[in-house]
Structure 1
Amino acid sequence: MAIVDAEAPFIAAATDTALAGVSDFRGRLVYRSTSGGWRSALFVIVVEVASTFAYFGLSANLITYMTGPLEHSNAAAASAVNVWSGTASLMPLLGAFVADSWLGRYRSIILGCILYVMGYGMITIVSTLPALHLSPHDDNGLPSMLVAFFYASLYIIAIARGIDKPCGVAFAADQFDPDHPRERVARSSLFNWWYFSIAIGMAAAIAMISYIQENVGWGIGFGMLCAIMFCSFFVFLLGSPTYRIYAPTPGNESPFTRLGSGLVALAKSSSFPFGAREDDLREEEDGAAVTRSEEARTVLRLLLIWAACLAYGVVFAQIMTFFNKQGRTLDRRIFGGLVLPPAALQTFTPVSILVSVPLYDRVLVPALHRMTGNPTGLTLLQRVGTGMAVSLAAVCVAALVEGRRLETAREHGLVDDAGATVPMSWVWLVPQYVMVGVADVFAMIGMQEFFYDQMPSELRSLGLALYYSVIGMGGFISGGLISLIDSITTGYGGDSWFADNLNHAHLDYFYWLLAAISAAELALFIRLASSYAYRNKIVT
């Protein structure tokens, strides 16, 4: 024991005992007084806020880069951004599998950081090449090496995000012992500060990086993201001696393998997921098979709720694409001659989150508690449904504003001038950005807690991956819908709904279509939520 103590990263107090089932990054014993807690969690928070800053610094203005230096059409750029962001949001499914089955959270975060630095470094190189001023296709009509290199860098970043995101908050939470009273309280506080910090990173990135990209240079803007990720990676490594690491246990099943065996057991029982024939089968099955089949049945119920949330992800995808393009056509002057980059308007979404979270927690929840008797004010599904309703209202507002913008362009004879500034203030777009942020406070936080709380404990990493994948699938659906509508509306010789000259386009029609889809899914969600039976006795 003396040898082990001598190898410990810090000298533990004489009365301090080694924590069971936990080691440091070299596999040595760790002690409560010299490991974990806020001192360790803050190192993780730094890298996660930096990764959020970098991601939104890239994604917020990506459509402008694609329609500018890369010369993509509006429809092609919007579809590409949606598919890329969708991939980045679906990758946590793969990342959770890799972390739970093989690498563990600590090494997964390290791998994610390496890929982040590589991806942002590559996109910095692309944006500084003189060839950026050439067409994105060579003389043979094949994609140029420039575009291939650009997309490779984007998808390396998407893979990095998928590896990192399902591990970041979980690894930070690992630094607190849930069986220790004081650390359990601190762990609960971590989640509140985590979301608050992420919102700050989003707001800072959108406001700062978009301005630098358009007014100083794309290469400098992307280079800053690479530098920030490199520095945060270094900070994360500095915290390594203090981390508490729960390594995957050899032979343990991953959540996905466990779910697969549960689905097999469920199929063998020939029982419909929502039926009640299992009573006759319990004598024929062993206890493990029954448990797995019940877990699978629970996941199938949750998948129905997940499917009813996808329209929310489709609306969310428009923030980085068509909301941005709308803003570019408006008068964005502030303080005299200063002109806001259109991507900077996205700042209103995280700012509204920062304002809404304390209002929800300190004002709305107590008021609803007095009305409903529920300690949390709303049940989890009521909270998600409220967010979906606000999202529906946001896209309706966006359609009305776009209709007003088109009318103003016609009144001033600007329909055929693609580069003209429509005499209409950027302030018109603020409500739709703010409403999306408010919807996030209800829907996104509600979904995160719902899929974590209602998923069987052995499958909770899958639950968090489902939460991320709502936005991912929404991006894919949006990209496919845009491509389909673009081909249909241009197939008869008319202008596309997404024409490069937005004064000829019909984004208002597209927004009304999204409103109809959102309304239909909200009705389905309400029907499913009204009959959903919570796993916990205390409904939250």
Structure 2
Amino acid sequence: MEDPLDHKGKIKEPLLSSSTTKGGLRALIFIIVNEAFERLANYGLSTNLILYLTREYGIDAVNGAQILYLHSAATSFTPFIGAFLADTYVGRYFMIGFGCIACLLGVILLWLTTIIPGARPPPCVQFHDSCESASTLQLLLLYSSLGLMAIGAGGIRSSSLAFGAEQLGKRDTLKRAGILESFFRWYYATVSVALFLAMTCILYIQDNMGWKVGFGIPVVLMILSTLSFFLASPIYVKSKAKAGWLDGFARVLVASFRNRSIKLSSQVKDDVYHHRKGSRLLVPSEKLRFLNKACVIRNPKEDLIPDGRASNPWSLCTVDEVEELKSLIKVIPIWSTGVLMSINVLQHSFIVLQASTMDRHITSKFQVPAGSFTAFQLFSSVIWIALYDRVAIPLASKIRGKPTRLGLKQRIGIGILSSSAAMAALAIIESVRRKTAIKEGFSDDPNSVLHISALWLLLYFFITGFAEAFCGIGQNEFFYTELPKSMSSVASNLFEMGLSVSNLIASLLVTIVRNFFKGNDQESWLSSNINKGHYDYYYWLLAGLSLANFIYYRACSKAYGPCKGQEGNATDGGEALTDED
């Protein structure tokens, strides 16, 4: 590909005007727009979906939440599959294009449920009328739309960022680093703005103009997203697929099993190992020694071909491949603590139901849509990130007289502990809300609006935003720092994989609580009638589990040891406060 940058690292004019030059800035614009519109459409539908399921389909709150948990789990897991398929078989361009079409079909099907009378059950007032349940065909249409949306989102999100980076050419020169970093910043900034608009503007339209218009706008947005991507097809740089990292992991496991009879020397340096040309890793580490058998050379004449490569990659791997798998296994315990923490962040369906029964007026004529309250969490995270980066760090550095910041694992621990406090605050708010409902005589009517301000919920979002700013960002940075550079695609998907597992665990937990935890009146804690159940007890349970998760995290943190570059607490030329006690 022709170099789109001049000797100063700036984009040359042909990139903007020549029809023969591929990649560069103009290609990035189309990719960012494609991703932004997809997020805007998807989140504009999913955020308020709990109200659509309960009011239009007659699905009770708990079953509706479980449907959304599974949908969210699929949406978080499909990028992992998409990344593997794109890297190994079909390429990133094909994967994003497939995702656009699948997502467009999904949002169209969901919109059709609002305009076709027979696509959903007849209207009725829940808990007052004898409501007709949705038929199998109606549910099939609903689930198909959600499934296509999840598949489509996975296709786009799995490859969009990496596909954008491809448009800048090779990454082995410093002059490209600035524009690549700028692309990442604009990518995440645009996605954040899209999420905020989805949680505010689109939800406001749904609340005030109805589901037909409110679900129709995401269809238009998804059409624009698809057109944005395909219109720029002639100018994209399209790399071919090659063997992915998952193949490397599989080879290490198979080779270590095949070579299980090998007896390793007591000293690692006494064995002969296979390594890549130019690699700095000549011998494997002592941890997880059984995997070292995958890279031991038993007979150089049989195990290696003349150019130094393994004659059978499934019997002999390189030291680098073995160490990559080890590094992944090593971060799994800390990754699992983030999985448990994310369950607290995934309570939006229940919180939307709570907000819908509370007074949401800001002025006498304007009230915040129930689903828009989740936007306060995003806003809170941004505020906390800015305060930490621009106020806390400079102030601490000034007091200590040298550059200072919190260690990675310390930030993760603070976030996990804060999530427990967030659930405790939510439990108290729900307890007051429930008592207000009973006092005002609405225990049998969960749809009535109570005389209690929904702004109390902002306390939960305020603390949860703090927890996300520390734990969420901390874990992402932890994965990128601790995993080898060759595993950057794994690092970028680990957090999303955690969200997928969190949704599945949250769904299982809801099922257990609903079936086995009941109050004195034998009403389930998670009753379909939010005023009769004890959702506050459920939140207290999550607060307790989060506290136990913090203790578990401390154990995992100590077992892991210091992060890379933190020996002696020195990082990046400054000082990081210790991750250990």
TM-score range, shorter chain: 0.7 to 0.9
C-alpha distance in 2 between matches for 1:279 and 1:170:
31
What SS does the corresponding residue of 1:377 show, helix, strand or coil? strand
2:122 to 122, 125, 134: 134
Give 1:309's aligned residue: 338
2:42 to 55, 79, 104: 55
Which has more radius of gyration?
2
Distance 1:421 1:135, change over 3 A: closer
Give 1:236's aligned residue: 229
Matched, 1:254 2:244: yes
Q: TM-score, normalised by structure 2?
A: 0.80
1:167 to 128, 153, 159: 159
| Residue deviations 1:151-195 (CA, integer Å, cap 9, x gap) | 111011111111221211222222334334332012123333322
C-alpha distance in 2 between matches for 1:486 and 1:514:
14
What SS does the corresponding residue of 1:334 show, helix, strand or coil? coil
Q: Is residue 21–residue 235 contact of structure 2 (8 Å, CA) maintained in 1?
A: yes
What SS does the corresponding residue of 1:338 show, helix, strand or coil? coil
Q: Is residue 382–residue 469 contact of structure 2 (8 Å, CA) maintained in 1?
A: no
Give 2:61's aligned residue: 74
What SS does the corresponding residue of 1:68 show, helix, strand or coil? helix
The code of the aligned residue for 1:105 comes to R
Give 1:93's aligned residue: 80
C-alpha distance in 1 between matches for 2:402 and 2:288:
30
The code of the aligned residue for 1:115 comes to A
2:106 to 106, 110, 119: 119
| Residue deviations 1:449-484 (CA, integer Å, cap 9, x gap) | 322332233333222222101111111111111112
> Which residues in structure 2 correspond to 1:25-424 (within 5 Å)?
34-131=21-118, 132-134=120-122, 143-176=135-168, 177-249=170-242, 253-267=243-257, 274-275=287-288, 284=297, 288-319=317-348, 321-368=349-396, 377-424=405-452
C-alpha distance in 1 between matches for 2:454 and 2:6:
64
C-alpha distance in 2 between matches for 1:472 and 1:14:
43
Distance 1:447 1:170, change over 3 A: farther
The code of the aligned residue for 1:255 comes to W
Q: Is residue 312–residue 391 contact of structure 1 (8 Å, CA) maintained in 2?
A: yes
What SS does the corresponding residue of 1:531 show, helix, strand or coil? helix
Q: Is residue 313–residue 473 contact of structure 1 (8 Å, CA) maintained in 2?
A: no
Q: How large is the RMSD of aligned CA atoms in angstroms?
A: 3.5
Q: Is residue 253–residue 291 contact of structure 2 (8 Å, CA) maintained in 1?
A: no
C-alpha distance in 1 between matches for 2:527 and 2:406:
43
Distance 1:41 1:360, change over 3 A: farther
What SS does the corresponding residue of 1:501 show, helix, strand or coil? coil
Give 2:459's aligned residue: 431
Distance 1:179 1:140, change over 3 A: same
Residue 76 of structure 1: how far off its partner (Å)? 0.6
The code of the aligned residue for 1:194 comes to Y
Residue 222 of structure 1: how far off its partner (Å)? 1.5
Residue 43 of structure 1: how far off its partner (Å)? 1.6
Residue 507 of structure 1: how far off its partner (Å)? 0.9
Residue 431 of structure 1: how far off its partner (Å)? 1.6
The code of the aligned residue for 2:246 comes to F
Q: Is residue 384–residue 442 contact of structure 1 (8 Å, CA) maintained in 2?
A: yes
The code of the aligned residue for 1:223 comes to G
Q: Is residue 388–residue 443 contact of structure 1 (8 Å, CA) maintained in 2?
A: yes
C-alpha distance in 1 between matches for 2:148 and 2:121:
24
| Residue deviations 1:254-312 (CA, integer Å, cap 9, x gap) | 11111111223444566999445778997556773433332222111122221121112
| Residue deviations 1:335-373 (CA, integer Å, cap 9, x gap) | 213232210111212222333333333333444556789
Distance 1:282 1:372, change over 3 A: farther
Q: Is residue 73–residue 504 contact of structure 2 (8 Å, CA) maintained in 1?
A: yes
Ranked by relative contact order (alpha carbons within 8 Å, sequence separation 6 or more), the top structure is 1
Matched positions, count: 515
Q: TM-score, normalised by structure 1?
A: 0.86
Distance 1:103 1:151, change over 3 A: same
C-alpha distance in 2 between matches for 1:235 and 1:282:
47
**Sequence identity of aligned pairs in percent?**
28
C-alpha distance in 2 between matches for 1:389 and 1:13:
46
Residue 331 of structure 1: how far off its partner (Å)? 0.8
C-alpha distance in 1 between matches for 2:237 and 2:400:
41
